Structures are given as C-alpha cells and as structure tokens.
C-alpha cells in the first residue's frame, strides 16, 4: 500500500513538473490567431498599394482552416510565411528589393520540374511523403524572394521524386521469396 501511494505521488510530482514545461514551446490558439491577424493586416496593406499576392492569401486561408483542427503551431508557421511573402511583395513594389529575374526564372523552372517528377513518381506509386511539402516550401521561398533557398529546396524535391520513381520501377516485379510464401501456408 505504501509503495503504491509513493508511486502515485511520484507520478503526480512528475506531471506537475512536466506540464508547465510543455507550455513554454506549445503554440496556443491565441498565438495562432494573432499571427493570422498580422498576416491579414499585412495582406490588406499590400492590397491597398497593389502588391497583394494570391499565394499569400491562400496561405492565410490555410492557416485559418487549421484553427478548426487545433493545429495551432502549423497555423502560426503558415501565417508567418504569408507575412514574409507579403513583406517581400511590398518591398518589390516600393523598389526596396529587386527581383533577380535569372534566379526567379530558375527557381520557377526547377519547381515545375520537381512537380513533374513528383507526378511521374506518383503515377507508379513511388511518390515519397516529403516531396509535396518540399515543393510547397520551394514555392513559398520563391514567393518570399529567397530564390537561392527555393532553388535548393526544389532541386532536393526533384531528386527525391526521381529516386521514388526509380525505386518503384525497381520493385515493380518484386515478389515475396519462396520461404515467406511457404511460411504463410
């Protein structure tokens, strides 16, 4: 009886210590809503000067939809991406930032190539999980004017999509070894 009581007290003590520690890194609904509100304000500011970006608007909608599923950290992150993208659009509009056409075109081209490679891999059941997210990240980075990072991310996505296709094709005719088939019988 004494050991059971001691164990219960130790568990309670551990929980009392652990629960406050987790609140230091968890995103609350209010934090996510504040980030979304900031993103909306920036986007409205960009709309008034004709620098609004449709991708940023989609990000704001996506972040807002995530509130219903309680994915507050992801919603906050996407809202901040929208803010970065809108700020870059405003800088380009005001002349404070210059779009490097060569890098922008290269990023756009590589993103399109990565998307084609993803579709090809998906057509044979070889799409790897991370590839779609990598392409989306590359699009976000390009939209925020971070073309070098976008090129790097799109290149990695294309590479993984191509490897996924190769893997699916190599395993296309794979079958269980005879000893496994014998075991199942």
Q: With cut-offs at 50, 70 and 90, classify the pLDDT of residue 99.
A: confident
Q: Report the candidate in 91, 80, 78, 103 with the shortest Cα–Cα distance to residue 51.
A: 91
Structural tokens at position 65: 């939809």
Instruction: Tell me if 164 sits within 8 A of 126, measured CB to CB.
Output: yes
What is residue 14's predicted lDDT score, i.e. its pLDDT? 63
What is residue 139's predicted lDDT score, i.e. its pLDDT? 93
Overall average pLDDT of the 68-96 stretch: 89
Q: Does 23 have pLDDT greater than 50?
A: no
Q: Does 9 have pLDDT greater than 50?
A: yes
What is residue 95's predicted lDDT score, i.e. its pLDDT? 83
Overall average pLDDT of the 119-147 stretch: 92
Instruction: Tell me if 161 sits within 8 A of 128, measured CB to CB.
Output: yes
Query: pLDDT digit string (tens) for 101-122?
Result: 889 999 999 999 999 999 999 9
Query: pLDDT digit string (tens) for 43-64?
Result: 999 999 998 888 889 999 999 9
**132: which residues sit within 8 A by CB, 6+ positions away?**
118
- DSSP labels for 78-137? HHHHHHHHHHHHHHHHHTSS---HHHHHHHHHHHHHHHHHHHHHHHTT---HHHHHHHHH
Q: Does 67 have pLDDT greater than 60?
A: yes
Number of H helices, E strands in the chain: 8, 0
| Domain spans of the chain, in order of start | 26-94, 101-170
| Helix (H), strand (E) at residue 4 | helix 2-22
Q: Does 168 have pLDDT greater than 80?
A: yes
What is residue 90's predicted lDDT score, i.e. its pLDDT? 87
């Amino acid at each position: 009886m004494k050991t059971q009581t001691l164990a219960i007290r130790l568990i309670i003590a551990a929980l009392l210590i652990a629960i406050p520690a987790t609140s230091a890194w968890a995103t609350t609904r209010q934090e996510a809503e504040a980030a979304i509100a900031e993103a909306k304000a920036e986007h409205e500011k960009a709309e008034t000067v004709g620098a609004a970006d449709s991708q940023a608007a989609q990000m704001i909608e996506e972040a807002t939809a995530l509130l219903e599923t309680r994915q507050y950290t992801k919603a906050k992150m996407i809202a901040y991406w929208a803010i970065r993208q809108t700020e870059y659009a405003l800088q380009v509009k005001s002349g404070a930032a210059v779009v490097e056409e060569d890098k922008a075109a290269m990023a756009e081209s590589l993103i399109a190539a990565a998307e084609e490679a993803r579709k090809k891999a998906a057509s044979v059941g070889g799409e790897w999980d991370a590839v779609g997210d990598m392409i989306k990240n590359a699009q976000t980075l390009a939209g925020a004017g971070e073309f070098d990072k976008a090129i790097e991310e799109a290149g990695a996505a294309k590479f993984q999509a191509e490897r996924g296709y190769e893997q699916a094709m190599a395993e296309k005719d794979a079958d269980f070894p005879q000893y496994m088939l014998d075991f199942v019988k």
